[in-house]
Structure 1
């Protein structure tokens, strides 16, 4: 019986698949929570589908957070630091409608998906935006990690 249990455990351990994620080596994932009250003028653009805002408060993400209203009371939130290099003096992306742009290399990212829109075809590894959890309750969007 002991031998069968040992064999079973050995098979179980060796058959487990490792589903490691591709972590972004440039961005740390820091813990935070931020609430955006949509009744306040600063966040009121988020009441309309397709509108986005940049939150640049200290302690919110690495370089801030983009929040976009994707429709039907659904929101997405992404790190404002460019995901394709370490944070530096030009890595905070700017908001341009529904696109975030990194001024270092002019990389552009969709705020609906977080995907890089102008990915170079040079064989190098490029990262999409780091996404945070965004939940909507009443008139508040809570972003956390």
Structure 2
């Protein structure tokens, strides 16, 4: 019986440890519907074929979408500063492997979305099929 309860506790902890829920429940960034596809064969996105490169795709999400090659996987984040009101800052910029907020100059890792502030970057789902990257929520 004791093993059974330990199993239940382990499973409940496992399912409650999702960092995507916290990043997507950010009161500063509205929940816009995102459905974006980019082709890495196009010159604007060809850098995404290489690890540690990212691009910003404007006109999606709150301030654009940052797509980043994290080596074997791709991450997609909203380009809005997660700890500022959406209207108070310009879109984030990419500085190497970080996204930098234009308001407070906080850097956020494009590998993890973390930046040492209350909210991490708002993350979107990513599917890759050949050279096509599909970003959605």
Mark the structure with the bigger radius of gyration. Answer: 1
Shift of 1:89: 4.7
Q: Provide the residue aligned with 1:130 in structure 2.
A: 122
Q: Provide the residue aligned with 2:132 in structure 1.
A: 140
TM-score (norm 2): 0.79
Give me the whole-angstrom Cα distance separating, in 1, the residues matched to 2:85 and 2:47: 30
Shift of 1:29: 1.4
Give me the whole-angstrom Cα distance separating, in 2, the residues matched to 1:90 and 1:78: 16
Give me the whole-angstrom Cα distance separating, in 2, the residues matched to 1:90 and 1:115: 18
Give me the whole-angstrom Cα distance separating, in 1, the residues matched to 2:82 and 2:90: 9
Secondary structure of the 1:49 match is coil
Q: Provide the residue aligned with 2:40 in structure 1.
A: 38
CA contact (8 A) 1:85 1:91 kept: no
* Structure 2 unmatched runs, 5+: 1-15
**Larger helix percent:** 2
Give me the whole-angstrom Cα distance separating, in 2, the residues matched to 1:116 and 1:51: 18
After superposition, the C-alpha distances for 1:78-137 in whole angstroms (9 at most, x for unaligned) are 0000000111252411111111111111111000100005x4xxxxxx100000001100
Give me the whole-angstrom Cα distance separating, in 1, the residues matched to 2:32 and 2:135: 12
Give me the whole-angstrom Cα distance separating, in 1, the residues matched to 2:70 and 2:34: 22
Moved over 3 A (4+): none
* Structure 1 unmatched runs, 5+: 1-18, 120-125
* Paired residues, number: 116
Give me the whole-angstrom Cα distance separating, in 2, the residues matched to 1:91 and 1:39: 29
